[in-house]
Amino acid sequence: MPFKTLDDVSDLNGKTALVRVDFNVPVEDGRITDDTRLRVALPTIKKLLDKGAKVALLAHFDRPKGKVVPAMSLAFVAPALSALLGEEVAFAECLDQRYEGAARVVLYENVRFHPGEEANDAGFAKQLAALGDIYVNDAFSAAHRAHASTEGVAHLIPAYAGESMRRELTALDKALGNPERPTLGIVGGSKVSTKLDLLKNLVGSLDALAIGGGMANTFLYAQGHDVGGSLCEKDLKDTALEILREAETKGCKIMLPLDIVVAQEFKANAPHRTQSLNAPLSAEDKIFDAGPLTVEALTTVMEGSKTLIWNGPLGVFELPPFDAATVAAAKFAASQTKSGKLVAVAGGGDTVAALNHAGVADDMTFVSTAGGAFLEWMEGKVLPGVAALEA
């Protein structure tokens, strides 16, 4: 999809760039515990400042549902951003007038304090548009929402993709839009029901798809395997079989666990065993990870692939030893990527956590911190905030 970037803007002297960012940061006792989303916004802010613009930032925090909730104010973010940027970041409570102070960067109050934001109200979008001369969307993670600050305002003043948005869209295009083949997907997680649209889209797009985590149990059960007391959506047996048939029709190789790691309780270093799919399971036995044969088969396919897109772990990676399959696959993907043999794009909260756990997040081609937006993109859905940027 063609979209305009900041490289398409020349002279911004005397103008204000209205930038939608994602500052919905994790907070504990009034302190930001992870400033990743602030740091991600810095390249766009600095590039706009270098072009002579003033920068007005729009963001949301939490879910005030159109009401002013003092505990959800963005005031605490301004000093944190100022420290990272190395210059003053002013804070403005009112969204009905332009900031006219001396600071080159201003952060406006939580846009979700206004009912017109989530309703994508035309009047509120017009009010926001009056705050700037151009609009820049740098919040891919909010692009699946058709809100006033993510979609409505983009139609009222010239709109561009920020640096973070540009990187995200470029990476996703390499992974799904126009990938180098063969393509491999890894999809994990606990439930098939939460990723039906994703699976149905991917089997029509990829050459191979590995299914792991709790959702693999539903597919194994559908094939007639005993899953003991494992998490399993047995009522989705027919749906799982339908997905398997569709994959076969469309030429997508489905990879399910060949061996499993079983325990009776989920705790660190719990007594466990690795066994084949045909070995018996008791009602107390639960599948918590894929075994080494599964990892070997996956890495073999990965070795022959040019593109990998990854969403979800292969097992319950939060505790050892049930992190083994995810860590091994992640490290192999990282090695292939670093050697230039693989374009590896990953995203989703659990996926990011798993890659960080394996120590390889920085070695992948691109890791998206967006949750819902990344998932909807993989599902083949149109993201309103992205569509509004089309050139």
Binding site for ATP, by residue number, is 195, 318, 348-351
Annotated catalytic residue, options 66, 349, 371, 380:
349
Q: Is 20 helix (H, G, I), strand (E, B) or coil?
A: strand
Could you tell me the maximum CA-CA distance found in the chain, to the nearest angstrom?
A: 73
361-378 CB burial, b ≥16 within 10 A, e <16 = bebbbbbbbbbebbbbbb
Q: Write out the binding residues for substrate.
A: 22-24, 37, 60-63, 112, 145
Q: What are phi and psi of 3, to 5 degrees?
A: -145, 150
Annotated catalytic residue, options 66, 229, 372, 380:
372
Annotated catalytic residue, options 37, 104, 174, 286:
37
Q: Per the structure block, which two tokens stand in for 260?
A: 């499993």
Extract long-range pairs of 76-81: CB within 8 Å, 24+ residues apart: 76/27, 76/30, 76/32, 77/23, 77/25, 77/32, 77/38, 77/107, 78/107, 80/32, 80/35, 80/38, 81/23, 81/38, 81/41, 81/105, 81/107
167 included as an active-site residue: no
Residue type at position 177: G
Would the CA dihedral through 338, 342, 348, 351 be positive or negative? negative
Q: How far apart are CA 90 and CA 45, in angstroms?
A: 14
Annotated catalytic residue, options 191, 237, 306, 341:
191
CA distances from 288 to 220, 329, 353, 359 (A): 14, 16, 17, 21
Q: Write out the binding residues for (2R)-3-phosphoglycerate.
A: 37, 112, 145
46 included as an active-site residue: no
Do residues 137 and 162 touch, judged by C-beta distance below 8 A?
yes
185 included as an active-site residue: no
37 included as an active-site residue: yes
Q: Nearest 5°: CA angle at 266, between 260 and 270?
A: 80
Q: How far apart are CA 143 and CA 340, in angstroms?
A: 30
Give 385's contacts (C-beta < 8 A, 6+ positions apart).
20, 137, 139, 140, 142, 143, 144, 145, 146, 150, 151, 154, 373
Q: Nearest 5°: CA angle at 173, between 56 and 303?
A: 130
Cα dihedral 349→353→355→359 (10° resolution): 150
Q: Is 287 helix (H, G, I), strand (E, B) or coil?
A: strand
Q: Write out the binding residues.
A: 22-24, 37, 60-63, 112, 145, 195, 318, 348-351
CB atoms within 10 A of CB 122: 13
State the catalytic residues. 37, 191, 349, 372
